[in-house]
Amino acid sequence: MKLVILAVGRSRASPERDLTQDFLGRIAAGSELVEVESKLPSGPARRVDEGARLLKHVPAAAPFIVCDPEARDISSEQLAKLLETLRDDGAQAAYFAVGGADGHSDAVMARAHRRIAFGAATWPHMLFRAMLAEQLYRATTILAGHPYHRGNS
């Protein structure tokens, strides 16, 4: 199953971008990072515009998972189980949304198949992308029975 990270904002050459691409490149079924950007000033209109730009990349029936700091935390094992369920239900791809500084629009939240969080801490967007890519890779290795995942790493 292809795993796609949809992220608000454009990344520049950086160690975080390289790390994100490295982990995405390790996923056997392929994966990609799609970046969207709004030129509107910060605020509600920008959040709506960013949401519309994210949703343009999500096919109608595709699973859409929103990264939301107010959601329930998900463990690596739970993420693996989620991917397994989506795969077994016939999903060809799953899409993961990382919002901008103003958060996700109502349209993005309404379209979400599931909302997930990786803890209560606030992370820089570029580092969070790398963390999400690593967790997606880890989840695929759990499903493959690969030794990369050894419990609490």
Query: Does a structural domain hold residue 151?
Result: no
Can you give the CATH number for the domain in which 56 is found?
3.40.1280.10
Residues spanned by the domain of 74: 2-144
Question: Tens digit of pLDDT for each residue in 111-132?
Answer: 999 999 999 888 899 999 999 9
Model confidence over 21-33: pLDDT tens digits? 999 999 977 899 9
Residue 153 belongs to some domain of the structure: no
Is residue 20 in a domain?
yes
> Residue 66 corresponds to which tokens in the numbers above?
């929103």
For residue 152, tell me if it sits in a domain: no
- 88 found inside a domain: yes
pLDDT digits (tens, 9 = 90+) for 49-87: 999 999 999 999 999 999 999 999 999 999 999 999 999
Residue 109 inside a domain? The answer is yes
Distance, CA of 117 to CA of 129 (rounded, Å): 13
Residues 67, 85: contact at Cβ < 8 Å?
no
pTM, to two decimals: 0.94
Produce one character per residue of 80-109: b if its CB has 16 or more CB atoms within 10 Å, e if not: bebbeebbeeebebbbbbbbbebebbeebe
Give the number of domains in the chain.
1
- pLDDT of 14 above 80: yes
